[in-house]
Structure 1
Amino acid sequence: MHFAVTGGAGFVGSHLVKLLVEEGHEITVIDNLHKGKKENLTSVINKIKFQKMDIQDYESMRKILKNVDGVFHQAALTVVQDSFTRPEEYFDVNVHGTENIFKLANENKFKVVYASSSSVYGHKLETPITEDAERNPISPYGKTKLEAEHLAEKYSKLNTEIIGLRYFNIFGKGQTLDYAGVITKFLERINEGKAPIVFGKGSQIRDFIHVNDVAKANLMAMNSNCSNLIVNIATGNVTSILELADMMINASGLKLEPIFVEALEGDIEKSHADISQAKKYFNWEPKIELQDWLTEILEK
């Protein structure tokens, strides 16, 4: 089948592209390279079509997506703290850009699997969080993701096949420092022999999911007979930020103590998913354990 991947040179997108190539699909990558890097696709660059393009360019997108069987929409601005200073830009890319994909899906009758985010939930006292929990984002980034979900609901009513995946905290090879990646930031510090910096008390809990498991969830969602659906993509297991810091320090063998600094604006306290819907609808389950991956990386 012929699939397009927006944001295909980015962190999640590039892993997804490699999986799709392995599965034998014809792939067109669409990326403006503002954040994504073509080097992320070096191993498959001769097996794909690459289009340097912005998802906000509707007419160009229209030509490219005319003959695809499905679109994996990963392109977005994703830095929570950055969204407070650039809310209009985040809205343009994450909302208007996403609507372009949905419009073209409706016009050309292809299926869309798009990336949403656990940030749509905001602060939650009760966990694990199910998909029907109240959505109350606390950052401009989270609000753009919620608005995109509203658009998905609108276009689904027009018989457009759309599935949304609410990503929780993704980690893995190739993650950049600006991808809200606490693991990447801790790794960089530890590799330099420096203590990890913990914002607030470190009591924030996170549900960490490996990028390869996220890529597989995208493929299984596309291959499913489902549409007009949104599901959590996580592990259902939680780790506090302080536990993570201690885990990584111990695995490194270094004698370090975390450095505590003031909490970040827009930082969610509890992020813990119920993943039963992904299991039910796609027969998907995460395979990669955080502890195993960290131990392997830090031993290297």
Structure 2
Amino acid sequence: MKTRAVVTGGSGFIGAHLVKHLVRKGWSVRVIDNLTRGDQTRLQPVLDDIEIFNVDVRDEDAVTKAVSGADVVMHLAAINGTENFYTQPELVLDVGIRGALAVVNACRKANVPDLVLASSAEVYQTPAFVPTDENIALTLPNSLNPRYSYGGSKIISELIAFNYARDHWRKVQVFRPHNVYGPDMGTKHVIPQFIIRAASSSSNNQQTVPFPIQGSGHETRAFCYVDDAVSGILRMYEHGVTREIYHIGNDEEVAINTLANQVGAAMGLALQIQTSEAAEGGTVRRCPDISKMRQLGYEPRFDLRTGLERTVQWYLQNMDRLPMDGLL
């Protein structure tokens, strides 16, 4: 019998890749997405194989109907993107918190036994230890800074998943993705913005181009290619245990100026990096400890160079259909 899954935010970046992966595995898949930020074209290869419910994840009654009969709900719907944390904190909180409550209540009403909830590395802000394991304290440094609207909503979502419906679940798991990237991830994240900026700066056929970045360039992150992230989510669900938290990511830590230079190299460009003041509330260093996932047999297959080459190629081929307002 096919596993019946519902993916909220299933036309978003990670959600769409997850949906396509589940279909390839032979699962029965429904998608909940009101397309506020998602893009149904991401699902074009599997549209004939899935059901799509164009409803708001905060609409508990509609979500209850959509999840009826499911074995697992994978709740990925959120307002992501650092730019949105600063500019739309009310919406980030509303979708994050009311969406989580609606999904959990819908699962209880429809007797869905399993829940997989997407959290975020943002719950740590500036972690006490790097690489960071899943047991480090969660942090909300300053409730006045709108950046923390996203991390705060994810902390609350985890509490909802584990405690609000504590006795309902056969299996409930939380994964914290760390800087997942890849083709067709929109324009609100650092890697596509770097690609677009480099392409624009090189439009006069210069091979060495000025390249402004935010911060000193010494800040670090660890970037996970989306195919690895999706494989990790499925390995967690199939081999992990209930009431656990898992990091989904890659532990290849890289400085942002190195990232920019690797983006340039993938485009055949030499970048003259120009630093600036960092955004208030940003984190100097972040890299996950993925030992817990490795114990389940997970291992990232794509190094940063390979993943960037694939991502750059997609963006350069699709530049004419990307929204550019406010990017450069």
Report the TM-score range of the alignment, normalised by the length of the smaller protein. over 0.9
> For each residue in 1:171-213, what CA deviation from the matched residue of structure 2 results, as whole angstroms up to 9, or x when unmatched?
10111112xx211111112223164431110111101001111
> For each residue in 1:242-281, what CA deviation from the matched residue of structure 2 results, as whole angstroms up to 9, or x when unmatched?
111122223332233123232123321111110011122x
Give the equivalent residue in structure 2 for 1:99: 101
Distance 2:9 2:311 in 1: 26
Distance 1:62 1:70 in 2: 13
2:157 is the alignment partner of 1:154: no
Q: 1:31 to 1:296 in 2, by over 3 A?
A: closer
2:243 is the alignment partner of 1:233: no
Q: Give yes or no for contact 1:116–1:145 (8 Å, CA) kept in 2.
A: yes
260-269 or 41-50, which deviates more: 260-269
Q: 1:202 to 1:125 in 2, by over 3 A?
A: farther
Q: Give yes or no for contact 2:11–2:35 (8 Å, CA) kept in 1.
A: yes
SS at match of 1:215: helix
SS at match of 1:199: coil
> For each residue in 1:107-133, what CA deviation from the matched residue of structure 2 results, as whole angstroms up to 9, or x when unmatched?
414211111100000112421111110
Give the equivalent residue in structure 1 for 2:115: 112
> For each residue in 1:219-256, what CA deviation from the matched residue of structure 2 results, as whole angstroms up to 9, or x when unmatched?
22222351111111111120010111122223332233
Give the equivalent residue in structure 1 for 2:196: 188
Q: Give yes or no for contact 2:6–2:67 (8 Å, CA) kept in 1.
A: yes
Q: What TM-score results when the alignment is normalised by the length of structure 2?
A: 0.85
247-256 or 74-83, which deviates more: 247-256
Give the equivalent residue in structure 1 for 2:138: 135
Equivalent position amino acid for 1:210 in 2: Y
Distance 1:19 1:137 in 2: 34
Matches within 5 A, 1:1-300: 1-107=3-109, 108-138=111-141, 139-155=148-164, 157-160=166-169, 161-178=171-188, 181-192=189-200, 193=202, 195-224=210-239, 226-280=241-295, 282-298=296-312
Q: 1:277 to 1:255 in 2, by over 3 A?
A: closer
How far the C-alpha of 1:85 sits from its partner, in A, is 4.0
> For each residue in 1:32-89, what CA deviation from the matched residue of structure 2 results, as whole angstroms up to 9, or x when unmatched?
1000011111111111111101110001111111111111111001133432443332
SS at match of 2:278: coil
Distance 1:155 1:191 in 2: 47
Distance 1:84 1:9 in 2: 23
Distance 2:297 2:103 in 1: 26
Q: 1:195 to 1:294 in 2, by over 3 A?
A: farther
How far the C-alpha of 1:156 sits from its partner, in A, is 5.9
Distance 1:268 1:199 in 2: 12
Distance 2:44 2:310 in 1: 24
Q: 1:150 to 1:195 in 2, by over 3 A?
A: farther
Q: 1:29 to 1:250 in 2, by over 3 A?
A: same
Distance 2:164 2:51 in 1: 28
Distance 1:246 1:236 in 2: 19
SS at match of 1:247: helix
For structure 1, the 5+ residue unaligned runs are none
Equivalent position amino acid for 1:258 in 2: I
Equivalent position amino acid for 2:172 in 1: I
Give the length in aligned residue pairs. 297
Q: 1:92 to 1:296 in 2, by over 3 A?
A: closer
Q: Give yes or no for contact 2:60–2:105 (8 Å, CA) kept in 1.
A: no
81-90 or 35-44, which deviates more: 81-90
Equivalent position amino acid for 1:167 in 2: P
Equivalent position amino acid for 2:218 in 1: S
88-97 or 201-210, which deviates more: 88-97
Distance 1:297 1:65 in 2: 33
SS at match of 2:29: strand
How far the C-alpha of 1:104 sits from its partner, in A, is 2.7
Q: Give yes or no for contact 2:72–2:114 (8 Å, CA) kept in 1.
A: yes
Q: Give yes or no for contact 1:72–1:218 (8 Å, CA) kept in 2.
A: no
Give the equivalent residue in structure 1 for 2:321: none
For structure 2, the 5+ residue unaligned runs are 142-147, 203-208, 317-328
142-151 or 72-81, which deviates more: 72-81
